[in-house]
């Protein structure tokens, strides 16, 4: 580089110009690559976390841990997104996560799908620790265990609940599912049974519906009632549909089993074929009450049968 006496004239040789341009290009590319890698790394970590959460819920999905509360702890502040699709034979439980880095939540990870899980929660739960418990869903045979996922930072205050629900919640012994002296707590979500003054969620236990954010969803069995309380309408309706899809497939299996055992003089006389058709016609939670009546008929018939199917 030559600097002449004239201060306004600075001559760059081609070498210098080339080096500067190339240097800038390389630096820009390097910064871009590092940013992309950090973002890909975040997505990768989130996707792995989503898969791990799903796998950790395996013991809850299959029976034994029913009625106990467990917790999932994550090192960084995390959002667990709960999504659901009801395509295919069983639909899918979709889990996504996003973690807080530099005070901001990253983009949600890739969708991780589980066809055999049914999680009820808000659209997303946020925190470092999450409470998880499950309840069996029998309709009339065991279909699956429903999983409830709540951030420990979220408190639910149950008011005027029936005795069996109170006992069940007490047995869970959870710090965020409160049953006594919580109505005046400002940060608690109030869940009231058959009353609606100052409540965030109203449960009509006898008529079988839950009202939340001016929307109503219907339930049958306590397992679905908890689902309706803890989840948003879209998630609840989708999961209820998926449950009916799985119940339909199980009804088909039991129907075929009954037919094969009939050849061995093991009669059960259950209306499972019709039940399967009714389950196939399920659209929204409003259809649950009709199905529940049929389910109870089949349950009684199975209990009375000489050859029980389940």
Partner 1 sequence: MQTKQLLAGCGRMIKIRNKKGQFKVQQMAFMLIAVILFFALVAIFVLAFQFSSMKEKATVLQEENALLLVAKLADSPEFSCGNSFGETRANCIDFDKVMILKQEISKYKNFWGVSNIEIRKIYDFGREKTCTSSNYPDCNTLKLIESTSSGYDYSNFVSLCWKEQKKTGTGQMLYDKCEIGKITVRYREKI
Measured CA to CA, the distance from residue 97 to residue 82 in angstroms comes to 9
- In the chain, the largest separation of any two C-alpha atoms, in whole Å, equals 113
Q: How many helices (H) and strands (E) does the chain have?
A: 7, 15
Window of 36-44, 74-82, 280-288, 290-298 that interacts with partner 1 by CB under 8 A = 36-44
Q: Does 272 bind partner 1 (CB under 8 A)?
A: no
When binding is defined by CB under 8 A, the residue of 95, 238, 243, 309 that contacts partner 1 is 309
Measure Cα distances from 299 to 34, 220, 228, 275 in Å.
61, 15, 24, 12
Contact letters for partner 1, residues 199-218 (x by CB under 8 A): --------------------
When binding is defined by CB under 8 A, the residue of 43, 48, 294, 301 that contacts partner 1 is 48
Q: Does 260 bind partner 1 (CB under 8 A)?
A: yes
Evaluate whether 291 touches 274 at the Cβ level (below 8 Å).
no
Q: Does 59 bind partner 1 (CB under 8 A)?
A: yes
Window of 13-21, 67-75, 222-230, 284-292 that interacts with partner 1 by CB under 8 A = 13-21
Q: How far is the CB of 291 from partner 1 (least distance, A)?
A: 17
Evaluate whether 248 touches 280 at the Cβ level (below 8 Å).
yes
- Site size with partner 1, rule: CB under 8 A: 46
What DSSP designation does 285 have? Answer: G
What number of residues does the chain have? 310
Element of type H or E holding 32: helix 14-56
Collapsing DSSP to helix, strand or coil, 6 comes out as coil
Window of 57-65, 207-215, 233-241, 280-288 that interacts with partner 1 by CB under 8 A = 57-65
Q: Does 38 bind partner 1 (CB under 8 A)?
A: no
Q: How far is the CB of 247 from partner 1 (least distance, A)?
A: 9
Evaluate whether 142 touches 295 at the Cβ level (below 8 Å).
no
Measured CA to CA, the distance from residue 29 to residue 8 in angstroms comes to 32
**Which residues of the chain form contacts with partner 1 (CB under 8 A)?**
14-15, 18, 22, 26, 29, 33, 37, 40, 44, 48, 51-52, 55-56, 58-59, 61-64, 89-90, 114-116, 141-144, 249-250, 252-254, 256-257, 260-261, 264-266, 307-310
């Amino acid at each position: 580089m030559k600097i002449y006496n004239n201060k306004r004239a600075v001559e760059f040789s081609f070498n210098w110009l080339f080096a500067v341009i190339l240097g800038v290009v390389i630096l820009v590319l390097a910064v871009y690559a590092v940013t992309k890698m950090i973002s890909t790394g975040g997505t990768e970590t989130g996707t792995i976390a989503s898969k791990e959460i799903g796998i950790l819920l395996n013991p809850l999905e299959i029976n034994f841990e029913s009625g106990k509360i467990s917790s999932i702890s994550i090192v960084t502040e995390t959002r667990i997104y709960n999504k659901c699709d009801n395509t295919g034979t069983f639909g899918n439980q979709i889990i996504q996560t996003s973690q807080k880095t530099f005070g901001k939540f990253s983009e949600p990870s890739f969708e991780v799908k589980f066809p055999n899980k049914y999680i009820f929660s808000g659209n997303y739960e946020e925190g470092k620790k999450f409470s998880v418990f499950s309840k069996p869903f029998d309709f009339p045979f065991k279909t699956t265990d429903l999983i409830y996922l709540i951030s420990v930072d979220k408190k639910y205050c149950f008011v005027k609940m029936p005795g069996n629900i109170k006992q069940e919640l007490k047995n869970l012994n959870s710090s965020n599912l409160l049953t006594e002296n919580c109505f005046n707590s400002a940060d608690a979500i109030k869940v009231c049974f058959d009353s609606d003054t100052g409540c965030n969620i109203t449960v009509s236990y006898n008529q079988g519906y839950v009202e939340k954010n001016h929307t109503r969803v219907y339930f049958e069995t306590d397992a679905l009632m908890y689902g309706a309380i803890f989840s948003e309408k879209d998630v609840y309706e989708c999961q209820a549909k998926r449950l009916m899809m799985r119940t339909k497939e199980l009804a088909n299996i039991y129907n075929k089993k009954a037919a094969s055992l009939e050849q061995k003089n093991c009669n059960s006389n259950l209306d499972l074929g019709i039940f399967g058709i009714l389950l196939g016609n399920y659209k929204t939670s409003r259809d649950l009450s009709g199905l529940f009546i049929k389910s109870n008929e089949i349950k009684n018939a199975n209990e009375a049968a000489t050859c029980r199917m389940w």
